[in-house]
Amino acid sequence: MAVIQMSGRELTRLRVLIDLSDDRLTVETAGTLLGLGRRQVYRLRRAFTAEGPSALVSRKRSRASNHRYGETFRRTVLSLVREHYRDFGPTLAVEKLAARHGLCRASRTLRQWMIGDGLWVDRRHRLPSPHQPRRRRECLGELVQIDGSEHAWFEDRGPTCTLLAFVDDATSRLMVLRFVASESAFDYFRATRAYLETHGKPVALRGQLQCLVWPRTDEYQRSTPEAERGRQSE
């Protein structure tokens, strides 16, 4: 027994034509249900009587589209993506292909090509993250995220420096921004003092303090670790 794959619209036509063939519906009623004229209903009924349900299946199914890109063009695009944009997503890759190579394609088409070639994994097939998502705090000042970013912030107009940022977790507001020479503990202490003087004491501060660089000047080289911790606490 052959299995015929039909769409929802084709199944609706099948049910209407079965009722029409059994004289449970008139041609006018069948045309109203299908949105077709009398001539089209008669044509469908003749085809259904001669060939059965397979006559209602679209002849275009499983055929390549007339607007389909050629295989050579597909391989060329994928080779460019593999060579230059392997770590890019489909949307950004489309922008780069259009800007640098003059190839304007839809991101949906490139996404399907990249998935088929193993260059991209869609969200449904990605492995779930092992980390549980953390909900944001509810009020301003409950938690302040602290971090530093070393970068050529002033390009060639100045030396490379580090930007210290204090970001409120609930609102994503930038509470304190400070450019410093390096990500050191004492620069964090000065930035924290500026935050406290401006916004008051938060409930909690969170940052990667184990990555701090402790400056070793002549003054601190002569001091003991206990004295140094005392200065830090001050």
pLDDT tens digit string along 147-170? Answer: 999 999 998 898 999 999 999 999
Interatomic CA distance for residues 20 and 16, integer angstroms: 6
Query: pLDDT at residue 2 above 80?
Result: no
pLDDT (tens digit per residue) in 8-35: 888 888 899 899 888 898 999 998 998 9
d(CA 66, CA 30): 33
Q: CA-to-CA distance for 206 and 77, rounded, in angstroms?
A: 45
pLDDT(131) > 70: yes
> For the residues 73-77, what does the mean pLDDT come to?
89
Is the pLDDT reported for residue 211 higher than 60?
no
Higher pLDDT residue, 202 or 2?
202
The predicted pLDDT at position 168 comes to 95
Q: 111 to each of 89, 102, 105, 148, how far by Cα in Å?
A: 8, 18, 10, 35
Specify the long-range contacts of residues 208-211, CB closer than 8 Å, at least 24 apart.
Answer: 208/147, 209/185, 211/183
Return the closest-CA partner of residue 186 out of 168, 209, 204. 209
Q: At what angle do helices 107-116 and 71-84 cross, to 10 degrees?
A: 80
- What pLDDT score does 192 carry? 92
Asked whether residue 4 carries a pLDDT value surpassing 90, the answer given is no
pLDDT at 79: 92
| Alpha-carbon gap, residue 222 to 234, rounded angstroms | 19
pLDDT of res. 133:
79
| CA dist., res. 145 & res. 12, Å (int) | 58
Q: Where does the pLDDT of residue 210 fall: very low under 50, low under 70, confident under 90, or very high at 90 and above?
A: low
17 or 228: which leads in pLDDT: 17
93's CB contacts (< 8 A; 6+ apart) are 81, 85, 110, 114
Model pLDDT, residue 228: 47
Question: 3-17, 108-122, 172-186: which range is least confident on average?
Answer: 3-17
Q: Is residue 1's pLDDT more than 90?
A: no
Q: Tell me what the pLDDT averaged over the chain comes to.
A: 83
- The phi-psi region of residue 51 (left if phi > 0; otherwise alpha if psi is between -120 and 50; otherwise beta) is alpha
Strands 144-151, 174-180: pairing is unpaired
**Would you say residue 230 has pLDDT above 70?**
no
